[in-house]
Chains A and B, each alone.
Chain A
Amino acid sequence: MNYNFKFSALLPYTDDIVQGALLTLYLSVVTMCIGLMIGGVVAVGRNSPVAGIRVAARVYVEALRNTPLLVQLFIVFFGLPTLGIRFGANAAAIVALSLNVGAYAAEIFRAGIESIHRSQVESGRSLGLTAYQTFRHVVLFQAVKAVYPALASQFVLLLLATSVVSSIGATELFHEAAFIESRTFRSFEVYALITLSYLVMTLAFRGLFAGIYWAAFVRRPAR
């Protein structure tokens, strides 16, 4: 092996890497928030008394969960403009990622709703709590506790999945890698470093989420 590794060639691009990482975080947080909203609506839709809404919600969830994100991204970025709907790269990334996360969040919420036994609501009501009080004091805590771990790992998966949007030119962290490579020709160093910086972020978030879980659910504050 006659290759001299030269990671120092990347030093002048520290700012670009930080910028890219910030945009990756921004994309992840924004799409997670939109995805949670979509997921909430769809999860409710899957239990709707109207058959049409139930079917539509199921089709959405299955279609998004059984096709690759990359193809969804191409449909949004390259396909929709033929119908006159145009997005910039970053906007298309947000649209595709949000729709994608929405489908997974919907399934997580549905499992969470199903995990709470009907008798919990009934016992709350029989103690004389109003519907709102039952929801607030009986259901909510259990529901959040049930969905939290799955949503936390979904966020980490999302953070990793954002790397895919570099392929349509959204300027997040992985896109910076291609940019720096084109300037330095240090392909391996660039991709190894960028890939590892995702590891730093995912480990940090896993630690953070575990800490929140511990603070909120294990060491339950007196109230």
Chain B
Amino acid sequence: MIRDFDSGDVVYLLLAARWTVALVVSATLCGGVLGFVVAIARVVPVAPVRWLAIGYINLIQGTPLLGQLFALFFALPLIGITVDAWSAALVCMSIYASAFLGEIWRSGLQSVHQRQWEAGASLGLTYRQQLGHVVIPQALRISVAPTVGFLVQLVKDTSLAALIGFVELTRASQIISSATFSPLTVYTTAAAIYFVICFSLSQLSQVLEGRLHVTR
């Protein structure tokens, strides 16, 4: 029997949106840690490490996320790890986020002037101290706005997890759509929920960009 799309379904979609948010937050945290390593690997004065990081970034940014999701979803069982859709999505989105965040933070690191490194060195700081006390604090300020901007992309990209069967907002709307047979209403509602999340983030990114620009 086909029922109508009612307020209960909207609540169901909102509850499913929690999983979208959960996926974004977890992927940002895991991807952030990994991305930090990638960013540092891109600037260290050891050439092979830099090449490895460049190769990693090219591989992730040069292939479709959907392909990464499927390859990983089928690859992990081969090495004996049974994955549910959530773990596959989380691992994949984290790797994906790390490549982009790594590049954003790398450009933040490199936009800190060379003289800052030299000033640190002339004060007798070691390489690690220069990085930790002089360069990273300044790079962080520059990177905040583009990082929030990337989160918008990440929120939208979590919709692909629906295609490996992870029930987040998009998968939930597919389910409701087949139950109510009113795809236009259902998908428009889902789009509206995405819009609220993404638009808030992109506005936040713009505000941060303006604010951090003025103080520099």
Minimum Cβ distance to chain A for residue B158 (Å): 8
The reply to whether A188 and B71 contact each other, CB–CB distance below 8 Å, is yes
Query: Residue B184 at the A interface, CB < 8 A?
Result: yes
Cβ contacts under 8 Å, B182 to chain A: 82
Q: What does the 1/0 interface line of A64-77 toward B look like (CB < 8 Å)? A: 01111111101100
The reply to whether A69 and B156 contact each other, CB–CB distance below 8 Å, is yes
A195 to B75, CA, bound (A): 13
Cβ contacts under 8 Å, A160 to chain B: 62-65
Minimum Cβ distance to chain B for residue A118 (Å): 22
Cβ contacts under 8 Å, B170 to chain A: 68, 70-71, 74
Interface centre among A68, A78, A156, A174 (most CB of B within 10 A): A68
For chain A, what secondary structure do more than half of its interface residues adopt (helix, strand, loop), or is it mixed? helix
> Which residues in chain B, 142-181, are within 8 Å of chain A measured between CB atoms?
152, 155-160, 162-163, 170, 173-174, 177
Give the residue name and chain of the B residue nearest to A159 (CB): B64
A188 to B184, CA, bound (A): 35
Q: What does the 1/0 interface line of A165-179 toward B look like (CB < 8 Å)? A: 011000000100100
The reply to whether B184 and A79 contact each other, CB–CB distance below 8 Å, is yes
Cβ contacts under 8 Å, B74 to chain A: 187-188, 191
Cβ contacts under 8 Å, B198 to chain A: 65-67
Interface centre among B67, B78, B195, B202 (most CB of A within 10 A): B67
Cβ contacts under 8 Å, A188 to chain B: 71, 74-75, 78
Given contacts A79-B187, A82-B183, A163-B66, contact A66 B152 (CB under 8 A): yes
Query: Residue A192 at the B interface, CB < 8 A?
Result: yes
Query: Residue B79 at the A interface, CB < 8 A?
Result: yes
Query: Residue B105 at the A interface, CB < 8 A?
Result: no
Cβ contacts under 8 Å, B62 to chain A: 156, 160, 198-199, 202-203, 206
The reply to whether B75 and A70 contact each other, CB–CB distance below 8 Å, is no
The reply to whether B195 and A63 contact each other, CB–CB distance below 8 Å, is yes
Q: What does the 1/0 interface line of B183-198 toward A look like (CB < 8 Å)? A: 1100110110011001
A177 to B62, CA, bound (A): 18
Q: What does the 1/0 interface line of A1-37 toward B look like (CB < 8 Å)? A: 1010000000000000000000000000000000000
The reply to whether B80 and A1 contact each other, CB–CB distance below 8 Å, is yes
The reply to whether B188 and A75 contact each other, CB–CB distance below 8 Å, is yes
The reply to whether B191 and A78 contact each other, CB–CB distance below 8 Å, is no
The reply to whether B59 and A199 contact each other, CB–CB distance below 8 Å, is yes
Cβ contacts under 8 Å, A75 to chain B: 183-184, 187-188, 191
Query: Residue B26 at the A interface, CB < 8 A?
Result: no
Query: Residue B28 at the A interface, CB < 8 A?
Result: no
A206 to B199, CA, bound (A): 30
A65 to B78, CA, bound (A): 37
Q: Which of A3, A71, A161, A166 contacts B190 (CB 8 A)?
A: A71
The reply to whether B70 and A191 contact each other, CB–CB distance below 8 Å, is yes
Interface centre among B63, B163, B170, B194 (most CB of A within 10 A): B63
The reply to whether B194 and A68 contact each other, CB–CB distance below 8 Å, is yes
The reply to whether B156 and A68 contact each other, CB–CB distance below 8 Å, is yes
The reply to whether A68 and B184 contact each other, CB–CB distance below 8 Å, is no
Query: Residue B116 at the A interface, CB < 8 A?
Result: no
Query: Residue B58 at the A interface, CB < 8 A?
Result: yes
A161 to B64, CA, bound (A): 7
A164 to B191, CA, bound (A): 16
Q: Which of B79, B190, B194, B199 contacts A1 (CB 8 A)?
A: B79
Cβ contacts under 8 Å, A70 to chain B: 159-160, 162-163, 170
**A–B complex contacts, Cβ < 8 Å, 18 sampled:** A67-B194, A67-B195, A68-B159, A68-B160, A68-B191, A68-B194, A69-B156, A70-B159, A71-B190, A74-B170, A78-B177, A78-B184, A82-B182, A160-B65, A166-B66, A192-B71, A198-B67, A202-B62
Kindly list the 3 A-B residue pairs having the minimum CB-CB distance in the complex, ordered from nearest: A195-B67, A79-B184, A66-B198
B interface residues with partner A (beta carbon < 8 Å): 58-59, 62-68, 70-71, 74-75, 78-80, 152, 155-160, 162-163, 170, 173-174, 177, 182-184, 187-188, 190-191, 194-195, 198-199, 202
